[in-house]
């Protein structure tokens, strides 16, 4: 598993537009987040995987809030912890003053396959506004570049980029709402 320096280097490369580094960063982050959430949500491995996915989208859409002078893992876990608190608040399992450190650590279900979330992100994508959904489908799910997507849809290149970014942020909101339902 990647250490602080390695993760940081991967994120910084990703910020510079390196797709492979960004993929590796997200993969390593998922591997760290999975036990983090499983330990804190005992007996609910699907909830944990939901939160892993939600947090990955959060890390991706808010990656420009990382200050390179500060430790990367502090940034990552602060976001993870916030997503967890937000879920707990939404579920109203506890009051507003949930101390995460007090939550009991339970057994992770070994039979549960890593990567299976309860919700289906593909279905949530369909709920996005048309322009955002099209932009994400063309550029992020199919094999089109931003320029090709611009030609196919008639929207400008920067319009496509903004739509993808807004769509991803909206997607995280939808994920959060659904996992609390």
Partner 1 sequence: MKTDDLIDMLAKNVEPAERPQWRMRMMLTLLGGLAIAVALVLTFMGMRPDIGTATWPVLLKAGFSAAAAAIILPLAMRLMRPGAPIGWRMAAVLIFVGVSLLATFIALMGMPSEARMHAWMGGGFPWCIVLIPIFAAPAAALMVWLARSFAPTRLTLSGAAIGALSGGLGAMAYAMYCPVDSVAFVTTWYVVGIAICATLGAIVGSKLLRW
Min. distance of Cβ 35 from partner 1 in angstroms?
Answer: 14
Q: CA–CA separation, 61 vs 34, rounded Å? A: 19
Q: CA–CA separation, 8 vs 6, rounded Å? A: 5
Min. distance of Cβ 79 from partner 1 in angstroms?
Answer: 5
Min. distance of Cβ 154 from partner 1 in angstroms?
Answer: 19
Min. distance of Cβ 94 from partner 1 in angstroms?
Answer: 14
Please identify which residue in the block is written with the tokens 């970014």.
165
DSSP state at residue 68: T
Please say which residue, 23 or 93, places its beta carbon nearer to partner 1. 23
Please say which residue, 86 or 106, places its beta carbon nearer to partner 1. 86
Please say which residue, 82 or 107, places its beta carbon nearer to partner 1. 82
Please say which residue, 42 or 60, places its beta carbon nearer to partner 1. 60
Residues lying near partner 1 in the complex (CB under 8 A) are found at 14-20, 22-23, 26-27, 30, 49, 52-53, 56-58, 60, 62-67, 70-71, 74-79, 81-82, 86, 96, 114-117, 120-122, 136, 139-141, 145-146, 161, 168, 173
Compute the radius of gyration of the chain from its Cα atoms.
Answer: 17
Backbone CA torsion sign across 110, 113, 118, 124: positive
Residues 32 and 76: beta-carbon distance below 8 Å: yes
Q: CA–CA separation, 123 vs 128, rounded Å? A: 10
Closest CA to 44 of 117, 120, 124: 117
Residues 88 and 98: beta-carbon distance below 8 Å: yes
Min. distance of Cβ 31 from partner 1 in angstroms?
Answer: 10
């Amino acid at each position: 598993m990647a250490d602080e320096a390695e993760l940081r280097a991967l994120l910084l490369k990703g910020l510079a537009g390196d797709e492979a580094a960004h993929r590796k960063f997200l993969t390593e982050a998922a591997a760290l987040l999975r036990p983090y959430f499983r330990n804190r949500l005992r007996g609910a491995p699907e909830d944990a995987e939901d939160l892993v996915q939600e947090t990955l989208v959060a890390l991706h859409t808010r990656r420009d809030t990382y200050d390179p002078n500060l430790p990367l893992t502090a940034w990552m876990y602060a976001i993870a912890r916030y997503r967890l608190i937000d879920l707990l608040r939404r579920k109203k399992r506890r009051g507003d003053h949930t101390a995460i450190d007090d939550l009991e650590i339970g057994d992770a279900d070994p039979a549960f396959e890593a990567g299976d979330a309860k919700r289906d992100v593909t279905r949530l994508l369909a709920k996005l506004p048309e322009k955002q959904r099209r932009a994400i489908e063309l550029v992020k799910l199919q094999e089109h570049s931003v320029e090709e997507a611009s030609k196919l849809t008639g929207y400008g290149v920067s319009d496509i980029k903004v739509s993808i970014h807004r769509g991803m942020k909206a997607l995280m909101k939808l994920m959060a709402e659904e996992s609390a339902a």
